[in-house]
């Protein structure tokens, strides 16, 4: 601690970096630099920024060169540390980054997220209370065309504005969350075959231990998914992940898993219909595009149903989900 101000480290995974452009990564790194400079001026100690990547140690210099070119100010406001986890998946990279931290607080962000102004100070502020273990920020999808607007409407992130009811229920955002280091080092993201399951399991572990998750308006935007190949793959894996969560949290029979796949199909179809109709105007989507957006959203969750049903029914083997090389933005 520095006075009553906690020290902090930032862990950034680089799995998503392989599916977005370096100029987009640079926008996020520049915003991070500005945020660090701002809280440092307010009295916080300079942090360590850990870049956890799925390559080898020899790849560190190339990453450093890219970062210095896209966000040269970052090395001026923070100590950069590169840690390799060859072949590491998303949560494995986050866990790998924890090992290199030594501060009071560990902040997790992704290579494809961009912090808004005051993000860092808002995220750190609750840690002045020594009882605080987890602080969860607010992540939303950036949009700039028909498909990205549709994804913003149907995704599991709330909209940037006017989505208070859904935002109040938001789960842990692994791309915008901070933990007391002592706790997260002893309770790393759980191992799971799923693509985005471990943060849900970690959230339930927090609650079982009686820890309150402090939700704050520390905002970042996430670059939108792109491309029909990603659309199809992500829909199917979303369904399979839903089945994995159901098994992990309820340990149900195969029959109950199959029933759940049908009930979730209905729930998500109804949710998608309501959200597209209610929130499409705030995205700037023309009225004539709304029916097409709704059709895309319903197609996504129909594919998700097939993914969930196939795993629940034993038609698909539960194997490790790996981000395919062919997808566009993650």
pLDDT for 159-212, tens place per residue?
A: 998 888 887 777 899 999 999 999 999 999 999 999 999 999 999 999 999 999
Query: Do residue 234 and residue 201 come from a single domain?
Result: no
The residues with which 220 forms a beta bridge, in sequence order, are: 115, 139
- Say if 42 falls within a structural domain: yes
- What confidence tens digit (pLDDT) does each residue in 239-270 have? 999 999 999 999 889 999 999 999 999 999 99
- Say if 57 falls within a structural domain: yes
- Say if 113 falls within a structural domain: yes
Query: Do residue 15 and residue 109 come from a single domain?
Result: yes
- Say if 321 falls within a structural domain: no
Query: Do residue 215 and residue 287 come from a single domain?
Result: no
- Say if 51 falls within a structural domain: yes
Query: Do residue 273 and residue 130 come from a single domain?
Result: no
Query: Do residue 150 and residue 238 come from a single domain?
Result: no
Query: Do residue 79 and residue 207 come from a single domain?
Result: yes
Q: How confident is the model at residue 15 (pLDDT cuts 50, 70, 90)?
A: confident
Q: Which of 182, 204, 222 is the last residue of a domain?
A: 222
Q: How confident is the model at residue 18 (pLDDT cuts 50, 70, 90)?
A: low
| Tally of domains in the chain | 2
- What's the domain range around 236? 228-312
Query: Do residue 139 and residue 19 come from a single domain?
Result: yes
Query: Do residue 260 and residue 206 come from a single domain?
Result: no
- Say if 115 falls within a structural domain: yes
The CATH number assigned to the domain holding 50 equals 3.90.550.10
- What confidence tens digit (pLDDT) does each residue in 100-144 have? 999 999 999 999 999 999 999 999 999 999 999 999 999 999 999
- Say if 325 falls within a structural domain: no
Query: Do residue 189 and residue 279 come from a single domain?
Result: no
- What confidence tens digit (pLDDT) does each residue in 204-235 have? 999 999 999 999 999 999 998 878 888 999 99
Query: Do residue 247 and residue 131 come from a single domain?
Result: no
The overall pTM is greater than 0.85: yes
Neighbours of 7 (CB within 10 A): 19
Query: Do residue 215 and residue 235 come from a single domain?
Result: no
Average pLDDT over residues 40-59: 95
Query: Do residue 175 and residue 268 come from a single domain?
Result: no
State the SS3 of the chain.
Answer: CECCECCEEEEEECCHHHHCCHHHHHHHHHHHHHHHHHHHHCCCCCCEEEEEECCCHHHHHHHHHHHHHHCCCHHHHCEEEEEECCCCCHHHHHHHHHCCCCCCEEEEEECCEEECCCHHHHHHHHHHCCCCCEEEEEEEECCCCHHHHHHHHHCCCCCCCCCHHHHHCCCCCCCEEEEEHHHHHHCCCCCCCCCCCHHHHHHHHHHHCCCCEEEEEEEEEECCCCCHHHHHHHHHHHHHHHHHHHHHHHCCCHHHHHHHHHHHHHHHHHHHHHHHHHHHHHHCCCHHHHHHHHHHHHHHHHHHHHHHHHHHCCCCCCCCCCCCCCCCCC
Q: Which of 204, 222, 240 is the last residue of a domain?
A: 222
- Say if 200 falls within a structural domain: yes
pLDDT at 330: 44
């Amino acid at each position: 601690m520095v006075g009553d101000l906690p020290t902090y480290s930032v862990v950034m995974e680089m799995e998503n970096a392989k599916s977005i452009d370096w100029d987009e990564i640079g926008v996020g790194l520049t915003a991070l630099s500005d945020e660090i400079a701002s809280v440092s001026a307010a009295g916080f100690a300079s942090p360590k920024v850990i870049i956890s990547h799925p390559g080898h140690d020899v790849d560190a210099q190339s990453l450093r060169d890219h970062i210095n070119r896209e966000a040269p100010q970052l090395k001026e406001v923070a100590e950069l540390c590169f840690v390799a986890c060859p072949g590491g998946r998303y949560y494995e990279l986050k866990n790998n980054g924890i090992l290199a931290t030594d501060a009071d607080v560990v902040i997790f962000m992704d290579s494809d997220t961009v912090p808004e102004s005051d993000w860092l100070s808002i995220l750190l502020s609750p840690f002045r209370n020594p009882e605080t273990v987890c602080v969860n920020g607010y992540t939303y999808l950036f949009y700039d065309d028909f498909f990205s607007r549709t994804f913003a409407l149907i995704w599991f992130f709330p909209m940037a504005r006017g989505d208070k009811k859904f935002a109040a229920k938001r789960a842990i955002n692994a791309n915008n969350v901070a933990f007391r280091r002592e706790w997260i080092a002893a309770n790393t993201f759980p191992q799971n075959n799923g693509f985005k399951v471990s943060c849900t399991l970690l959230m339930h572990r927090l609650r079982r231990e009686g820890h309150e998750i402090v939700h704050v308006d520390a905002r970042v935007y996430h670059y939108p998914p792109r491309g029909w190949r990603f659309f199809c793959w992500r829909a199917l894996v979303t369904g399979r992940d839903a089945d994995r969560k159901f098994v992990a949290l309820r340990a149900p029979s195969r029959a109950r898993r199959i029933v759940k796949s049908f009930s979730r199909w209905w729930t998500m179809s109804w949710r998608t219909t309501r959200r597209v109709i209610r929130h499409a105007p705030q995205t700037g989507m023309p009225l004539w595009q709304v029916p097409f957006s709704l059709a895309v959203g319903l197609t996504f969750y129909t594919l998700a149903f097939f993914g969930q049903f196939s795993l629940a029914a034993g038609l698909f083997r539960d194997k490790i989900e790996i981000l395919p090389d062919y997808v566009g933005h993650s």
